Structure 1
Amino acid sequence: MNEENITISFDLDPNNIPETDWTAFDAMTEEERYAAALSDPDAQPANEEQLARARRSPQVRALRRRLNLTQEQFAQRFHLALGTVRDWEQGRNQPDHAAKALLQVIAFAPDVVEEALAQKEL
């Protein structure tokens, strides 16, 4: 078995949640905070290989909000399924290559996309 496939979970007692010592945290310098973060074995920074493999997703929510649209309005305006928009925003699914291209064009010229989609002929 590959170590990367092992998952261990610990349930915290909701009646005994550890308190954060904000006074101690506030007294630390940025360098001390950085060193403390690096010393946590459960929160190690990603290395170059991990960053290279990471999937980057378009910021659909930010685009939609910039256009002052609800999820429903965004989906309707750009002929997308509402569930798809929700899934993208909540990170359940990632846009495929065609959807990423459409989102990029929407970000650049939303009115042109809306006008093109309003045409009846292909």
Structure 2
Amino acid sequence: MTLPKGFGSGGGASSSDVSKMIGRRIENYIGPITGIFIALWLGTWGGVAVAVTYYPWAYPPPSAHFALTVLTIIESIGYLFCVKVATEGTDKAKTYNGLIAGVIAAIAVATVLTDCFFFG
């Protein structure tokens, strides 16, 4: 990677040089990553709800259960990887384990309750 003049020595860049070029470090974006994940799940839920409500002949409740469950699992794995990659090699790597577990557990509970009461 070629850096602008004045950054790094001998063509290599230290992490502080790259941090100065970019601005905020990625591990400070855990809040927005979490918010985007929750908004993504709400969008998925909304799409499934619209499909079941307005097109019940094309999207019966068993399909809604399957779709919401599978998409929630895929989105949760993506969220887990995003946070783990963002905090890899930093002091904050283990700090966010509770946040990850809490958010994924809350989304899982919301998915199960939705499957039982709304799409059932």
Q: Give the TM-score range, shorter chain.
A: under 0.3
Q: Which has the higher contact order (CA 8 A, sep 6+)?
A: 2
Q: Greater helix percent: which structure? A: 2
For normalisation by structure 1, the TM-score amounts to 0.26
